[in-house]
Structure 1
Amino acid sequence: MSLAKGYAALSKDSPLAPFTFARRDLRENDVSIEILYCGICHSDMHTIHGEWDGTVYAEGTIYPCVPGHEIVGKVQSVGGGVSRFKAGDLVAVGTMVDSCKECSACMRGLEQHCQRGATWTYNAPDRITGENTYGGYSNSIVVREEFVLAVKHAEKDLAAVAPLLCAGITMWSPLRHWQAGPGKKVGIVGIGGLGHMGIKLAHALGAHVVAFTTSENKRQDALDLGADEVVVSRNPSEMAAHTASFDLIVNSVAVKHDLDPFLSLLQLDGTMALVGIPADSHPSPSVAGLIGLRRSLAGSLVGGIAETQELLDFCAEHGVVAQIETTPVQQIEKAFERMVRSDIKYRFVIDMQSIQEPRETKSSALRETDTMVSA
């Protein structure tokens, strides 16, 4: 075993604090990774504060909890049976680190829907030992080869690649499943960590992109991200102008709200996919609004491993990264506070070098690749 340095929550009410723990010895098919950057996701906060106990996590959060599932790093060493990676390779790890690889979902490359339960990057039992998994708010991780992803972006962009591993794939999966692309009109509801990636990706895929926001002052931001049009959803006339015209709407808003105004914008056989998980359920939508034009209301989780690799390759080819601000791990609670206030454009990423050498990390909010390149 090797010792790892991380930050962990010791209870649902405690702040994250330094935590030293053991990473397992390499199994035959394992890859040991030095973590360079780890994105901060709302899921991390929901988990460490026990807000998903009994819902997303049937057994609740297991403490100590080391969160983090938007991981970018460099291979340190590999097990004897590993053939795809070698020391020094740039790699990434997303929301999963294992699955049964035998059920019908896994055989279809949909490990996130593993019928025996995917092994999440943190707060899940290891399939062999049963020990709790610890995530990317740490300086190293050991992962089964099949769940390690190759990174082709330039090293200068690695911090901004990290959010692709959750925010990016969460939006990419429904866009690909419902075939967003040229000739399709796609709506993205919400312009936050998820939504801003949805706008960028739908634009890069060649779709006509309409961004929905409740705030007029976000109009220019959405256009700058690649939206063709912006609708303030509180403006009835702006909403009415798009009635029955969308092929797909991806709704990233994770708070309870009325879905009917957005469902009315779907054309015949249009779909709205929900990707946010609100603490309280949305009001039940109108059945009449669904059946009138054979509209669909669907949900979408993160993508499988093959789909996540497809996303990373596409983003490397088209210059797509997240818009981020880096933070030292010692400032994690301040980052959480700002994230709750939506005081970030659009994603925080932890610079894991800070766990070795505590220091202030320069903001990289403006240090991103040009992401407006079309597919």
Structure 2
Amino acid sequence: MLTTHAYAAQSAKAPLAPFSLERREPGPQDVLIDILYCGVCHSDIHQARDEWGGAIFPLVPGHEIVGRVSKAGSAVTRFKTGDAVGVGCFVDSCRDCASCRKGEEQYCDKGMVGTYSDRERYKDGAPTYGGYSTRITVDENYVLRIPDSIPLDRAAPLLCAGITTYSPLRHYGVKAGDKLAVVGLGGLGHMGVKLAKAMGAEVTVLSTSPSKREDALALGATHFAATSDKTTFKTLAGRFDFILDTVSAPHDYNAYLHLLKVDGTMILVGAPEAPAPLAAFPLILRRRKLGGSLIGGIRETQEMLDFCAKHNVASDIELIPIQKINEAYERMIKGDVRYRFVIDTASLR
């Protein structure tokens, strides 16, 4: 076993603090990765504070992991020592169900194995620990190649925020010339803008904060509208082919559905904690559709990384030492980050 430095929450009410864990020695199909950077996702806060229930403590968060291979198992064929690689939201799945066979492991019938706060399927049920640590051992089939042209620190959030927005844009058929609105301009929203713009869509950002106008346009949006101004919903009624809703705070889905054209589609990737009421008429009267999406599989995540490399897309980040992680959590809750914190894990060494 490999003793590894990390930061962990010992309970739902405890701040993150230094922690030591044991990583397994790489088996024949494993790679051992020296972690260089780890993005900070809002779901890290939910899990570390057990806001969704079922968290496994001690809990080492982090599922936006980028580093370099330090050792490859004897049967590994896809990676070698020194390769720049990434690990996203899951590290295993059943490998045999229809979803896994299609390369959509995120929808595994038996449940994907989360990168942290989960149990290893084939390793005696040992808890999984995430990327707020100096190294991790992962089966090569759940590891991504990071293209050379993407800065490694700015690549980290692509492993969650990037694929969470890329996958539904592809699945629901967003294409050049489509009019698309992105609701919310946070970690997910800013990636939605960049990716949709790279796909050729005409992007409008819808935000409660008028102060985000300049950022939205700088990120690639053509238009910006403040939803705190209620006339916005009248002015933009029937305007969009697609709406990508990235907001995890409670809000009125019905109001946004009225902004879709006939046959328009609204896609949910944000997850408010409380159920939201949904009226039938905004859907029925214009044959609109409401859908959702959960990250992406390994195949599609690699496709997304290659797309980002081709179109010069990367996350906008604020690089922090691990010692500032609790402060970063409080700032994230206040929306005080442009647009993703990334931990420099050299601070753990």
Match of 2:241 among 236, 247, 256: 247
Contact 1:185 1:247 in 2 (8 A): yes
Please state whether the residue corresponding to 1:343 is helix, strand or coil: coil
2:299 maps to 306
Query: In structure 2, what is the equivalent of residue 28 of structure 1?
Result: 28
Q: Report the Cα distance in structure 2 between the residues aligned to 1:245 and 1:84, rounded to whole angstroms.
A: 45
Shift of 1:215: 1.6
1:81-118 deviations in Å (ceiling 9; x for gaps): 10000000000000010111110011111100000110
Superposition deviation, residue 338 in structure 1 = 0.9
Q: Tell me the distance in 1 between the aligned counterparts of 2:153 and 2:231.
A: 40
The corresponding residue for 1:132 is 127
8 A Cα contact 1:16 1:332, kept in partner: yes
Q: Which residue of 146, 149, 162 maps to 2:156?
A: 162
Cα displacement (A) at 1:3: 1.0
Residue of structure 1 in register with 2:137 after alignment: 142
Runs of 4+ in 1 over 6 A off after TM superposition: none
- Give the partner amino acid of 1:314: F
Structure 1 unaligned spans of 5+: 54-59, 357-375
1:276 aligns with 2:259: no
**1:325 alignment partner in structure 2:** 318
Choose which of 204, 228, 235 in structure 2 pairs with 1:234.
228
The residue that corresponds to 2:210 in the other structure is 216
| Aligned counterparts of 2:335 and 2:98: Cα–Cα separation in 1 | 39
In structure 1, distance between residues paired with 2:306 and 2:250:
34
In the alignment, the residues of structure 2 paired with residue 346 and residue 64 of structure 1 have an alpha-carbon distance, to the nearest angstrom, of 28
Superposition map of 1:39-54 within 5 A? 39-53=39-53
Q: Deviations over 1:101-158 (max 9, x none)?
A: 1100111111000001101100111011211100000000000111100011347x11
Which residue number in structure 2 is paired with residue 192 of structure 1? Answer: 186
State the distance in 2 between where 1:138 and 1:325 align: 18
- 1:234 deviates by 2.4
Name the SS of the counterpart of 2:181 in structure 1. strand
Identity of aligned residues (%): 50
Give the Cα separation in 2 of the matches to 1:154 and 1:325.
Answer: 19
Query: Residues of 1 paired with 2:202 and 2:319: CA distance?
Result: 31
Partner in structure 2 of residue 172 of structure 1: 166
**Residue equivalent to 1:17:** 17
Cα separation, 2, equivalents of 1:304 and 1:267 = 30
Deviation at 1:245, TM superposition (A): 2.5
The 1-side partners of 2:337 and 2:17 are apart by 23
Structure 1 contact 8–19 (Cα < 8 Å) conserved: yes
1:174 CA drift (Å): 0.8
- Is contact 1:232-1:239 (8 Å) kept? no
Which residue does the alignment assign to 1:295? 288
Shifted more, 240-249 versus 308-317: the winner is: 240-249
Contact 1:231/1:239, CA 8 A, preserved across alignment: no
Q: Secondary structure at the match of 1:236?
A: coil
Counterpart residue type for residue 349 of structure 1: V
- Secondary structure of 2:164's counterpart equals helix
Partner SS state of residue 279, structure 1: coil
**TM-score normalised per structure 1:** 0.91
User: How large is the Cα RMSD of the aligned pairs?
Assistant: 1.0
* SS of equivalent residue, structure 1 residue 66: coil
Unaligned runs of 5+ residues in structure 2 are none
Distance across 1 between alignment mates of 2:266 and 2:109: 25
Q: Which of 247, 252, 257 pairs up with 1:263?
A: 257
Residue 123 of structure 1: SS of its match in structure 2? coil
The match for 1:370 is none
Match of 1:97 among 88, 91, 101: 91
* SS at 1:230 equivalent: strand
What does residue 207 of structure 1 align with?
A: 201
Number of matched residues?
Answer: 348
